Amino acid sequence: MAKTVAIVGRPNVGKSTLFNRLAGRKLALVHDMPGVTRDRREAEGALGDLRFTLIDTAGFEAGREESLARRTRAQTETALSGADLVILLVDARAGVMADDRDFARALRRLKKPVLLVANKAERGAPPLDEFFALGLGTPIAISAEHGEGMAELYAALAPALAPEPAEAASAEDAPEKPLKLAIIGRPNVGKSTLVNRLLGAERMLTGPEAGITRDAIAIPWEWQGRAVSVIDTAGLRRRAKVAETIEQMAVADAFSAIRFAELCVLVTDATQLLEKQDLTIAREVAEEGRALVLAVNKWDLVADKRAKRTELKEKLESHLPQLSGLETVMLSAKTGAGIDTLMPAVLRAYAAWNRRVATPLLNRWLAEAQDRNPPPLVSGRRLRLRYIAQANIRPPTFALFASKPGDLPESYRRYLVNLLRQSFDLPGVPIRMMLRKGKNPYDTKGG
């Protein structure tokens, strides 16, 4: 049975426009005049391969017991009660309004997944920082009218809208939605050979020539009952060396594959270990917020394996501290040695990428972190770190509220991030920590 997504928000933020966009046709009336929608409207919605029941609602307006405004509000409350996920739509250009705060307060008490989506965020729209004060995580910037930001919306919707299994299942059971796994790296490091070895068939062209693969090819696969979409990509050379139009298109396709993947396996050549371009690619994956596993290929050609492991550890610590604890697998795509350790490493990294930490645990951790290593003094006064909450997963993203966030040294931020990794089992995934000023936004006592 399809899950239900309700779109809510104050009048004239673009709820019906987004409804039409996700429904794939013009079903709801759209007009600049607020309050056009009164009844809740349902339709079959779709975004990529996601399918769901979509509900358009009226604005949350106050009114007398029997007034039209009160009855439309009741329609919205009914939609919320039956929804599996709620999209709170706000206006990126108008900023946070009083009704937005009312909605956010009500939705935080609802105990259902809520996505904060900022509409009208076309080029020229102001930054979205003030929307963090609503306490609903990272705002997703879109333009419902122009179809911008749909990839980011898809990534946020997908975890909550995965189909329910027909029968009760354990956490280890394979989900119906395939894991999107991109195989990336420099030219001629053995990416296509690795893909063929995983699939158990000569699915991709291979050879000693660099640049054989041009398109990012997605191949359906199953590993121990787990559906996987394996994406082989073109080799990524330094941008300065990419001159031909075809290669430019292939590289663009590979970077697109990174953005739409959930996890990337970076293949490096053990005989040319972690060259500058390997590090550049790894940083690109971290910047995109994707999970990463390092596959050291051609391990069978290494004579002194102990020395090579030491070299690898030193390079990772020195050049990729933002991915501390990165899952690393030594293998040979040609012989098959070590291949059986790759997918378990992939699933461990994927689990860390999706890990969510409860807010009470985080705030106890924050107090202990400050006791262990207090924040620095600024103008003779101690910086106050007031509150922390996980704003998102995929990657783990945290909002830290401080008295003077601009004065918190980068070294102390790194200390907190590294301690988060150790305390909550988050090795090797990019961790985002956003510093915000203000009181605890999740406190509902004062409004």
**pLDDT, position 122:** 87
DSSP conformation class of 148: B
pLDDT computed for residue 232 by the predictor? 82
Question: Token match 């920082």: residue?
Answer: 129
pLDDT of residue 384: 86
Q: What's the rounded mean pLDDT across residues 167-180?
A: 58
Among 119, 158, 172, 190, CA closest to 339: 190
pLDDT for 379 equals 77
Query: Ranked by mean pLDDT, which of 88-92, 128-132, 163-167 comes out on top?
Result: 88-92
**Domains present along the chain, CATH in parentheses:** 4-161 (3.40.50.300), 179-353 (3.40.50.300), 359-437 (3.30.300.20)
Q: What is the pLDDT of residue 76?
A: 62
Q: Hey, which of 100-114, 135-149, 349-363 has the most confident mean pLDDT?
A: 349-363
pLDDT for res 171: 45
Residue 122: Cβ within 10 Å count:
15
Distance CA(274)–CA(310), nearest Å, equals 13
Global pTM reads 0.61
pLDDT band (50, 70, 90) for residue 240: low
What pLDDT is stored for residue 57 in this prediction? 77
Using CB atoms within 10 A of its CB, is residue 413 exposed (0-12), middle (13-18) or buried (19+)? middle
What pLDDT shows up at residue 443? 57
Model confidence at 206: pLDDT above 50: no
Lowest mean pLDDT among 149-163, 168-182, 274-288: 168-182
What band does 250 get if pLDDT is binned at 50, 70 and 90? low
Q: Which of 151, 177, 173 is nearest to 163 (CA)?
A: 177
Q: Check residue 223 and give its pLDDT.
A: 93
- The pLDDT tens digits for 215-234 are 456 788 899 999 998 988 87
The pLDDT value given to residue 231: 86
pLDDT-based confidence at 202, cuts 50/70/90? low
